[in-house]
């Protein structure tokens, strides 16, 4: 219920990012023109870790504004838990990672500056088990820890003076939408195309080596990598249009053979089906793919033929499909049954909250969530659902309190600010409404709109001088964030 279409925001951030790289490359050329070439390229002369982090945050804001990111607290919780299971065993981790899902059935995953990893929803529903999905995420984590984008830029700047602004402006497009973006990249890299291809193949080989070791060390089946590679290769062997992932991650037979050989160096792990993975897969299929009636038929067929990995996941998918089809009573019966078997399962709790609210059983939702909020304080699934249930019930003061407390712990949460904006609007607190709306715009990289909202809020809080001072300070902070990118 939380997922919304992204707002279309100006591409100013892309221009700023491109200028950033142009400056860094020119400075690098001036400082290094008399130095002997180094065999080991680290990427630090083009892009420091601090600048990489800032640019990654700017790119993430742009993605929120332009791509259908799945704003779903349950799926966000799952994909970040899975990703961080891998990160805690990775080497050379320089910053906190952020994992997110994009509502796109194409097979694709990508990583960019500052530890950001995007996974298309189609990739999750295609993977047969969690080890296959984890293998792709481990590969992308390895691209980040090995700083492949920065090293690629350094390789380009060391070979010849290319149009780096054009190169960088195409990177994000190519990662998210390769069929469009690769054209932009190839135009910028035409002068040294073969060198770029060879360097990219080297990156892929290194990411495979590091990623498979990371997969094994994180208690996943290392065979997940060659298994998924082989599946993709076979499926798209004769396809006229390969999936997006194969455009940015080429998959020749030699790479599959290397992956098999590397995986065999580790003990095989026989893992049982993972419930969270199967529930996430069912949730995406029921909420983001096909039609409710088709999904009901598909999940019913799975249950009748027992063609599922776990019966609970098939029942969960059926319950969500009932909900999407507005068969709320049937969804309620199934979800309450599932919750009895696993009373703290966030997938069930989130879905049952939606059902209770749809059936106007607000008290049932609030009782369930108030108890869980004591057990799991500031958990994003519980806090956001609790805040939303209080909002739907008209208890605006309590809703605001829950969301404010959560934002202290998670200050960059888009959904929380969006809900809090609605709460303040319902209360008629226009000053606070414009303040939180400004934070929504700031998370989308729309700094000018954010400042406009803050300036509008100023006149509504004339009797609160302390709040006016905070508004002025926040305006200066946002302006400084934008100017800092330009100054770099």
Structure token pair of residue 230? 């082989």
Q: Which parts of 213-326 are beta strand (E)? A: none
Nearest residue to 281 via CA among 483, 465, 132: 132
Residue found under tokens 């599922």: 308
Distance separating alpha carbons of residues 107 and 416, to the nearest angstrom: 30
Residue 194: how many CA atoms within 13 Å on its side-chain side?
0
pLDDT band at 53 (very low <50, low <70, confident <90, very high): confident
pLDDT at 11: 41
pLDDT tens by residue, 141-152: 998 888 767 666
- With a pLDDT cut of 70, the percent of the chain lying above it is 76
Distance separating alpha carbons of residues 444 and 168, to the nearest angstrom: 20
pLDDT at 170: 53
Q: What distance lies between CA 407 and its chain's CA centroid?
A: 19
Residue 161: how many CA atoms within 13 Å on its side-chain side?
8
pLDDT at 39: 34
Cα–Cα distances (Å) from 479 to 73, 194, 240, 263, in that order, read: 30, 42, 48, 49
Give the chain's domains with CATH numbers: 12-263 (no CATH), 277-487 (1.25.40.10)
pLDDT at 92: 85
Q: Between 59 and 310, whose confidence is greater?
A: 310
DSSP label at 220? S
Nearest residue to 130 via CA among 229, 246, 219: 219
pLDDT band at 175 (very low <50, low <70, confident <90, very high): low
Is 70 exceeded by the pLDDT of residue 428?
yes
3-state secondary structure of 177: coil
Give the catalytic positions in this structure.
140, 208
Is 139 annotated to bind a ligand? Reply is: yes
pLDDT tens by residue, 83-95: 999 999 999 888 8
pLDDT tens by residue, 237-292: 766 666 666 666 666 777 888 889 999 999 888 999 999 999 999 999 999 999 99
pTM of the model: 0.84
Nearest residue to 91 via CA among 204, 209, 200, 199: 209
pLDDT tens by residue, 305-339: 999 999 999 999 999 999 999 999 999 999 999 99
Is 60 exceeded by the pLDDT of residue 19?
no
Q: Which residues have a Cβ under 8 Å from the Cβ of 411 and sit 6 or more positions away? A: none
Cα–Cα distances (Å) from 347 to 228, 382, 417, 460, in that order, read: 26, 11, 22, 40
């Amino acid at each position: 219920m939380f997922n919304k279409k992204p707002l279309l925001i100006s591409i100013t951030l892309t221009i700023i990012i491109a200028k950033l790289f142009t400056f860094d490359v020119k400075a690098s050329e001036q400082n290094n023109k008399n130095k002997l070439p180094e065999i080991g390229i680290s990427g630090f002369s083009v892009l420091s870790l601090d600048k990489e982090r800032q640019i990654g945050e700017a790119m993430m804001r742009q993605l929120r504004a332009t791509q259908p990111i799945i704003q779903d607290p349950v799926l966000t919780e799952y994909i970040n838990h899975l990703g961080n299971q891998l990160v805690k065993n990775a080497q050379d981790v320089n910053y906190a990672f952020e994992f997110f899902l994009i509502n796109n059935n194409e097979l694709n995953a990508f990583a960019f500056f500052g530890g950001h990893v995007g996974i298309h929803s189609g990739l999750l529903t295609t993977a047969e088990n969690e080890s296959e999905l984890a293998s792709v995420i481990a590969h992308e984590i390895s691209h980040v820890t090995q700083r492949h984008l920065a090293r690629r830029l350094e390789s380009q700047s060391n070979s010849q003076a290319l149009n780096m602004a054009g190169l960088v402006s195409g990177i994000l497009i190519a990662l998210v939408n390769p069929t469009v973006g690769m054209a932009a990249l190839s135009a910028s890299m035409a002068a040294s195309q073969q060198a770029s291809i060879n360097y990219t193949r080297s990156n892929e080989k290194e990411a495979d080596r590091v990623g498979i070791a990371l997969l094994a060390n994180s208690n996943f089946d290392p065979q997940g990598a060659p298994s998924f590679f082989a599946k993709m290769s076979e499926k798209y062997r004769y396809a006229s249009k390969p999936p997006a992932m194969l455009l940015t991650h080429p998959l020749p037979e030699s790479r599959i053979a290397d992956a098999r050989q590397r995986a065999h160096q580790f003990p095989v792990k026989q893992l049982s089906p993972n419930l969270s993975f199967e529930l996430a897969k069912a949730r995406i299929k029921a909420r983001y793919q096909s039609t409710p009636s088709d999904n009901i038929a598909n999940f019913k067929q799975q249950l009748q033929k027992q063609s599922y990995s776990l019966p609970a996941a098939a029942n969960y998918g059926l319950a969500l499909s009932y909900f999407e089809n507005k068969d709320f009573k049937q969804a309620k019966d199934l979800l309450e049954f599932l919750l009895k078997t696993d009373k703290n399962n966030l997938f069930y709790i989130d879905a049952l909250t939606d059902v209770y609210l749809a059936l106007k059983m607000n008290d049932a939702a609030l009782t369930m969530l108030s108890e869980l909020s004591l057990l799991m304080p500031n958990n994003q699934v519980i806090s956001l659902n609790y805040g939303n249930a209080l909002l739907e019930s008209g208890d605006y003061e309590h809703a605001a309190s829950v969301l404010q407390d959560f934002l202290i712990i998670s200050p960059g949460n888009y959904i929380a600010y969006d809900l809090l904006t609605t709460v303040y609007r319902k209360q008629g607190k226009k000053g606070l409404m414009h303040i939180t709306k400004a934070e929504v715009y700031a998370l989308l990289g729309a700094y000018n709109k954010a400042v406009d909202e803050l300036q509008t809020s100023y006149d509504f809080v004339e009797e609160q001088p302390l709040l006016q001072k905070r508004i002025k300070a926040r305006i200066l902070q946002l302006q400084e964030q934008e100017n800092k990118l330009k100054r770099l």
